[in-house]
């Protein structure tokens, strides 16, 4: 989950796609282009592994600063739900939902 958070903090759609191959790179690139800064914290994760698949539910927050408008940092509490698949030597995200 740390690689996911790091990729979002770097505002790097290609890095996101390395851990979440099904991510919409074009949409992520547009969203990232509108931000000056983003920090993601996945504080509490519950992971359930079942062979080569897993589900993770995480609580945390996102702080971001938009490029346009007020430059005050905005912090939002979020919950993430991930479905994961064991890849060659690494777990990959197959689906991610944020609410």
Number of domains in the chain: 1
Q: Which domain holds residue 33?
A: 2-98
Alpha helices in the chain (DSSP H): 2-9, 13-19, 25-33
* pLDDT value for 18: 95
In the three-class reduction of DSSP (H, G, I as helix; E, B as strand; rest coil), residue 7 is classed as: helix
Over residues 17-30, the pLDDT tens digits come to: 999 999 999 999 99
Q: What is the CATH number of the domain that holds 87?
A: 3.10.450.50
88 falls in which pLDDT band (50, 70, 90)?
confident
Q: First vs last Cα of the chain: how many Å apart?
A: 16
Over residues 38-68, the pLDDT tens digits come to: 999 998 999 999 999 999 999 999 999 999 9
């Amino acid at each position: 989950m740390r690689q996911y958070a790091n990729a979002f903090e770097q505002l790097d759609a290609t890095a996101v796609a390395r851990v979440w191959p099904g991510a919409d790179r074009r949409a992520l690139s547009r969203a990232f282009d509108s931000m000056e800064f983003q920090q993601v914290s996945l504080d509490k994760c519950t992971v359930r592994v079942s062979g080569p698949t897993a589900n993770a539910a995480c609580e945390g927050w996102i702080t971001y600063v938009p490029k346009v408008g007020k430059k005050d940092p905005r912090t939002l509490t979020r919950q993430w739900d991930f479905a994961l698949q064991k890849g060659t030597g690494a777990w990959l995200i197959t689906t991610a939902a944020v609410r």
